[in-house]
């Protein structure tokens, strides 16, 4: 089977005209002799609007009902795109995540794909139909509708490309590919022709929203080649694949920032074995994703501990803190939402020293204060004030001569 999976993002489907344009693009692919699966996101800002709508009803809508609501956004797109293709004389059928056999766990609003039973999709393809799949959603073994977390349609596309052994998984979006930094923030940013899974994973998980990080993780695990390109032109975009000799070891491949994290500090924590295990065990139980962690030197047996969590999980994290009060005697717990994480990523860091120093120097020159630092083998991240984030990205892009 010669199969292509194409994923159309929300901006590429924002209006009826854009949906018709996407329909032509899907048909063009079919005309080239491929079987085509088109995975769709919700139109424009639909998902944000649905979240706002729920919040107008209650501040705590609950994961199950929120998933019922949010999954409807992608159903609108899938039906409209399918109608458009059918009206143009080709045969399409739309399927929900559940109908497409996307089986997940039941962690509502950020479910993980467990298995893909794509029998129905295969049957429709065998009938010669173009299959339109609602992205971002699945069904759990308990038969609950789930969603895969923001940007989750990318993961749907990669997972289907893997399950059905597609030739390639195309992510069609509103920029020409993956750039050295968000081209909307840094106009001099350069498009990358190719990037390794490893670097893309670090970029995606530190804020480059052009690809959802779970989709890259999935692609890396299963060797799915991703082609990120524009839905508005035919230019070749960026290929994401396993690292090979043709990819130079670049010191810094890209700069990203993330303004969706908050910092939590627990002050006056007793400094003894088992305390960190208790705190982070509690957070893990509540499915809170902790990112950076720092613990200060202890002074007379007590210390302060800070960590960052996604904004959307701050409430849960603070609730965990309150519950911990019964078990641990700490002074207080405070949240700071006014932060951003700025990161540089590159495999060349493995073999070169002094990269961190250059990063700190570039921030210092711009009078940007660093509040937290974390490093991995190929990434360095700094927490700064949120209002300084874009400035920091521009400064780093320039300092590492990425333009
Ligand atoms: P879609 O609706 O197609 O899923 P997204 O808005 O999720 O699109 O992702 C595309 C956006 O990602 C671009 O418009 C761009 O502003 C942003 N972006 C952030 N970092 C990068 C980067 N390094 N390269 C390309 N785009 C980036
Ligand atoms: N519509 C969802 C979101 O806005 C999923 C996606 O676009 O990939 O996050
Ligand atoms: Mg996206």
- Reference 24, options 36, 9, 41; nearest CA is 36
CA 218 to chain centre: 12
198 CA to centre of ligand 3 in angstroms:
19
The pLDDT, as a whole number, for residue 245 is 82
How much is the pTM? 0.94
Structure confidence at residue 216 (pLDDT): 98
CA angle, residues 7, 9, 14, in degrees to nearest 5: 130
- Residue 373 has a pLDDT of 95
Q: Is residue 32 part of a domain?
A: yes
Which residues line the pocket of ligand 1, CB cutoff 6 A?
9-12, 41, 151, 173-175, 178-179, 181-184, 208-210, 254
Q: Helices 153-163 & 213-222, crossing angle to 10 degrees?
A: 10
Cα 367 versus chain centre, distance: 30
Q: Output the domain CATH number for residue 131.
A: 3.40.1160.10
Question: Phi and psi of 295, rounded to 5°?
Answer: -125, 135
Is residue 361 within 8 Å of residue 400, measured between CB atoms? no
User: CB under 6 Å to ligand 2: residues?
Assistant: 10, 41-42, 47, 73, 135-136, 150-154
Shortest-distance ligand to the CA of residue 8: 1
Shortest-distance atom of ligand 2 to CA 156: 8
Is 21 among the domain residues?
A: yes
Q: Is residue 320 part of a domain?
A: no
Q: Which residues, at least 6 apart from 348, have a Cβ–Cβ distance to it below 8 Å?
A: 249, 250, 251, 252, 355
Closest ligand (CA of 172):
1
Domain assignment of residue 31, yes or no: yes
Which pLDDT score is estimated for 249? 79
Of ligand 2's listed atoms, the one at least distance from the Cα of 136 is 5
The parent domain of residue 109 ranges over 3-174
Ligand 2 centre from 84 Cα, in Å? Answer: 21
Assigned domain for 17 exists: yes
- Name the residues around ion ligand 3, CB cutoff 5 A: 9, 151
Output the residue whose Cα is nearest ligand 2's atom 6.
151
Q: What is the pLDDT of residue 303?
A: 94
- Best CA proximity match to 254, nearest among 153, 386, 349: 349
CA–centroid distance, residue 71 to ligand 2 (Å): 9
What's the pLDDT score for residue 244?
87
Query: Which ligand sits nearest to residue 397's alpha carbon?
Result: 1
Distance 8 CA to ligand 3 centre (A): 9
Q: Which ligand is nearest to the CA of 13?
A: 1
- Strand, coil or helix: what is 72? helix
Q: Let me know if residue 15 belongs to a domain.
A: yes
CA of 19 from ligand 2 middle (Å) equals 16
Phi, psi angle pair for 55, to nearest 5°: -65, -25
Residue 158 domain flag = yes
Q: Which segments of the chain have a pLDDT < 50?
A: none
Please tell me the residue having the least CA distance from ligand 1 atom 25. Answer: 178
Rounded to whole angstroms, the Cα distance separating 361 from 382 reads: 12
Q: How many separate domains does the chain show?
A: 1
Compute the distance from residue 314 Cα to the ligand 1 centre, in Å: 24
Determine the Cα–Cα distance for residues 99 and 309; give it in Å rounded to an integer: 33
286 alpha carbon – ligand 1 mean position (Å): 30
Q: Report the atom number in ligand 2 closest to the C-alpha of 73.
A: 1
At residue 29, the pLDDT reads 97
112 domain residue, yes or no: yes
Q: What's residue 246's pLDDT?
A: 77
Length of the chain: 403
């Amino acid at each position: 089977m010669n199969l292509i999976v194409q994923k159309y993002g929300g901006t590429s489907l924002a209006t009826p005209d854009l949906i018709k344009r996407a329909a032509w693009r899907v048909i063009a692919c079919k005309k080239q002799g491929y079987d085509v699966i088109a995975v769709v996101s919700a139109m424009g800002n639909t998902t944000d609007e649905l979240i706002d709508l729920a919040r107008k009803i209650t501040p705590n809508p609950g994961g199950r009902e929120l998933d019922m609501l949010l999954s409807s956004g992608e159903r609108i797109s899938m039906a409209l795109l399918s109608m458009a293709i059918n009206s143009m004389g080709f045969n399409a059928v739309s399927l929900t995540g559940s109908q497409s056999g996307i089986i997940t766990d039941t962690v509502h609003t950020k479910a993980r794909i467990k298995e893909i039973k794509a029998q129905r999709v295969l049957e429709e393809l065998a009938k010669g139909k173009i299959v339109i799949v609602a992205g971002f959603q699945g069904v759990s073994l308990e038969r609950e509708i789930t969603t895969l977390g923001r940007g989750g349609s990318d993961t749907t596309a990669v997972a289907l490309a893997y399950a059905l052994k597609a030739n390639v998984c195309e992510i069609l979006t509103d920029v020409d590919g993956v750039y050295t930094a968000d081209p909307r923030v840094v106009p001099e940013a350069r498009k990358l022709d190719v990037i390794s899974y490893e670097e893309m994973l670090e970029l995606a998980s530190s804020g480059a929203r052009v690809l959802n990080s779970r989709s890259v993780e999935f692609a890396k695990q299963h060797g799915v080649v991703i082609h990120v390109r524009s839905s508005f032109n035919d230019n070749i975009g960026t290929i994401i694949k396993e690292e090979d000799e043709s990819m130079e070891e670049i010191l810094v491949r890209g700069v990203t920032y993330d303004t969706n994290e908050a910092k939590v500090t627990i002050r006056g924590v007793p400094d003894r074995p088992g305390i960190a295990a208790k705190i982070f065990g509690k957070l893990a139980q509540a499915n809170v994703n902790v990112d950076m962690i720092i613990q200060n030197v202890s002074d007379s047996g007590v210390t302060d501990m800070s960590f960052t969590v996604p904004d959307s999980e701050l409430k849960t994290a603070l609730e965990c803190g309150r519950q911990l009060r019964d078990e641990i005697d700490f002074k207080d717990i405070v949240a700071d939402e006014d932060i951003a994480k700025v990161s540089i990523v590159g495999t060349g860091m493995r073999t070169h020293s002094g990269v961190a120093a250059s990063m700190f120097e570039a921030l210092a020159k711009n009078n940007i204060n660093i509040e937290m630092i974390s490093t991995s083998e190929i990434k360095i991240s700094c927490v700064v004030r949120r209002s300084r984030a874009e400035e920091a990205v521009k400064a780093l892009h320039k300092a590492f001569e990425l333009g």
